């Protein structure tokens, strides 16, 4: 079996080693734009952010695997070969990381740690009244593999949790809304956690209209994609008190430019796209397992719906 591989990421060698181990019988070929002619046709491709020249070579493969959860770098590519399934990594150690990150953001906000940090700088000993947890709603926008697990983990702390997705999900501990009830959902969110895929339908979704539908002083966490959020609208909402703060892991431009106003904003906490890092070993094992299933004629999960682009 011939497998084409491509990533420009720093973990390239780690991926090659993990895939060799997970697919011992396969001939793994590292893609290069200048490869000599006459290379064997690939049966499968495993890629991260492939350049257009590589996408054009994917027409004959049985499936393409994306080395991550978000497929926005390829799902909308104009040259994507019709009928070739694109398969994302599902969880493989990412849900655990997302749960840690979002739990931290929610608890930090609920326990008002940012206010205590200011008080510490003033050497001021000032216990604040405990907030009412039952009135501290947390909303997860995007209830996919990762969003559903994060919502359940936050609910386990006793927060009232709502989830909103294209189609409402049924999870016992989470109040579910479908996209048509977005405004009703937003009114429940003292903290709004964005876990949506980036698609034509979600680009720019977190804008002034969304921020003004949240309870006054709400907090926004974005662990999805930077282009879902309208950065100037966020700054405006923080400026006029509509929002109290934000914890952002993803940005329209990454790395975040050094001159960007987010860096120095007192109400914004920034992390460099680390909320959930793809785990090489677990992901390679998951991809290998799916290849074996396809080879045996079995169905696999995680196939991107071309019409929805995620
Ligand atoms: C990371 O951002 C991913 O899509 O897996």
Is the Cβ atom of 278 under 6 angstroms away from ligand 1?
yes
Q: Whose CA is nearest to atom 4 of ligand 1?
A: 70
225 counts as catalytic: yes
- Position 18 scores a pLDDT of 98
Is the Cβ atom of 70 under 6 angstroms away from ligand 1?
yes
The residues with which 270 forms a beta bridge, in sequence order, are: 248
In b/e form, how buried is each residue of 154-165, taking b as 16+ CB within 10 angstroms? bbeeebbbbbbb
Chain segment 13-59, per-residue pLDDT in tens = 999 999 999 999 999 999 987 776 778 899 999 999 999 999 999 99
Q: Residue 92's closest CA among 73, 62, 67? A: 67
The residues with which 272 forms a beta bridge, in sequence order, are: none
Is the pLDDT reported for residue 123 higher than 90?
A: yes
Residue 162 backbone dihedrals phi, psi, to 5 degrees: -115, 150
Parallel, antiparallel, or unpaired for β 44-47 and 63-66? parallel
The residues with which 218 forms a beta bridge, in sequence order, are: 243
Cis omega (within 30 of 0) for bond into 255: yes
Chain segment 76-101, per-residue pLDDT in tens = 788 899 999 999 999 999 999 999 99
- Position 76 scores a pLDDT of 79
Give mean pLDDT, residues 229-234.
Answer: 98
Chain segment 248-275, per-residue pLDDT in tens = 999 999 999 999 999 999 999 999 999 9
Q: How far apart are the first and last CA of the chain?
A: 27
């Amino acid at each position: 079996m011939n497998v084409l591989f491509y990533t420009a990421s720093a973990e390239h060698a780690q991926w090659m080693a993990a895939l060799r181990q997970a697919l011992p019988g396969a001939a793994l070929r590292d893609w290069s734009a200048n490869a000599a002619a006459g290379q064997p046709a690939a049966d499968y491709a495993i890629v991260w952010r492939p350049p257009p020249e590589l996408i054009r070579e994917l027409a004959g493969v049985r499936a393409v695997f994306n080395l991550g959860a978000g497929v926005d770098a390829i799902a909308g590519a104009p040259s994507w070969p019709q009928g070739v399934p694109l398969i994302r990594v599902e969880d493989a150690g990412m849900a655990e990381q997302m749960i840690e990150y979002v739990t931290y953001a929610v608890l930090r906000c609920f326990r008002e740690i940012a206010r205590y940090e200011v008080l510490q700088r003033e050497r001021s000993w000032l216990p604040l009244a405990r907030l009412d947890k039952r009135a501290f709603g947390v909303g997860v926008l995007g209830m996919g593999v990762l969003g559903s697990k994060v919502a359940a983990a936050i609910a386990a702390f006793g927060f009232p949790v709502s989830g909103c997705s294209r189609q409402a999900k049924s999870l016992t501990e989470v109040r579910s809304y479908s996209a048509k009830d977005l405004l009703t959902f937003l009114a429940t969110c003292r903290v709004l956690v964005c876990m949506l895929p980036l698609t034509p339908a979600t680009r720019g979704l977190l804008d002034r209209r969304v921020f003004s539908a949240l309870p006054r002083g709400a907090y926004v966490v974005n662990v999805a994609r930077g282009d879902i959020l309208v950065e100037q609208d966020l700054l405006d909402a923080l400026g006029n008190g509509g929002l109290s703060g934000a914890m952002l892991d993803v940005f329209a431009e990454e790395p975040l430019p050094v001159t960007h106003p987010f860096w120095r904003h007192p109400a914004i906490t920034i992390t460099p796209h680390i909320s959930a890092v793809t785990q090489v070993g677990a992901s390679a094992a998951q991809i290998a397992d799916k290849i074996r299933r396809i080879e045996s004629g079995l169905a696999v999960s995680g196939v991107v719906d071309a019409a929805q682009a995620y």
